[in-house]
Structure 1
Amino acid sequence: MIIECFGGGIVRLGEPLDFRRFKLVLHADAAPGTEAWPGITLLDDRDALVSIDLVPTLAGRPDDAGWDQRYAEMVDKAREHGWIDAERHAIRAHVERMS
């Protein structure tokens, strides 16, 4: 699953059925220093926190109740591995930049 961030605060979900990967992709027109994406906090150049509640609201999410269940299972697995920030109710994501 890929959280794709673009300029103008546009965020969408890519590869929504891939529950084994979770990353944040900043496209070339994205300006990360502006805090342009509500629910997303860049921690540094390599890591970000993405609100657990944000992901199901993004464009690109399948309209399927089965998706909700699989997403909840992914969050549970992330929690087991220490990738959930309980205080911020967010999932840690690796950051990649596209040029």
Structure 2
Amino acid sequence: MIIECFDGGIVRLSEPLDFRRFKLVLHADVGSGTLAWPGITLLDDRDALVSVDLVPTLAGRPDDASWDQRFAEMVDKAREHGWIDAERHAIRAHIERMT
């Protein structure tokens, strides 16, 4: 599953049925100024935190009850591996930049 971030605060979900990977793809030049995507915190150049509650609200999410269950299972697995920030209720995501 890929969280894609664009200029202007636009965020969407792509590959929503791939529950085995989770990453954040930045299509914007974050170095040119402060860009904000609600529910997403850039920790450094390599990692970010994505709110667990944000993901199901994104454009590109299938409207399917089985998706909700599989997403919850993915979050549980992420928690087992230490990839959940309990205080922020967020999933750690690797950042990739598109140029």
TM-score category of the 2 structures, normalised to the smaller one: over 0.9
For the 8 Å contact 1:9–1:37, the answer to whether it is kept is yes
Q: State, as a whole percentage, how many aligned pairs show the same letter.
A: 88
For the 8 Å contact 2:46–2:94, the answer to whether it is kept is yes
Alpha-carbon distance between aligned partners in 2 of 1:98 and 1:35, rounded to the nearest angstrom: 15
1:40 aligns with 2:21: no
Amino acid at match of 1:31: V
With the length of structure 1 as denominator, give the TM-score of the two structures: 0.95
Matched ranges for 1:21-36 at <5 A: 21-27=21-27, 29-31=28-30, 33-36=33-36
Matched ranges for 1:55-66 at <5 A: 55-66=55-66
Deviations 1:4-50 (A, max 9, x none): 000000000010000000000001x3536524100000000000000
Displacement after TM superposition at 1:76 (Å):
0.1
For the 8 Å contact 2:7–2:35, the answer to whether it is kept is no
For the 8 Å contact 2:24–2:93, the answer to whether it is kept is yes
Could you say what secondary structure the match of 2:21 adopts? coil
Alpha-carbon distance between aligned partners in 1 of 2:87 and 2:69, rounded to the nearest angstrom: 23
Superposition CA RMSD, Å: 1.1
* Structure 1 residue ranges (4+ consecutive) displaced by more than 6 angstroms after TM superposition: none
Could you say what secondary structure the match of 1:3 adopts? strand
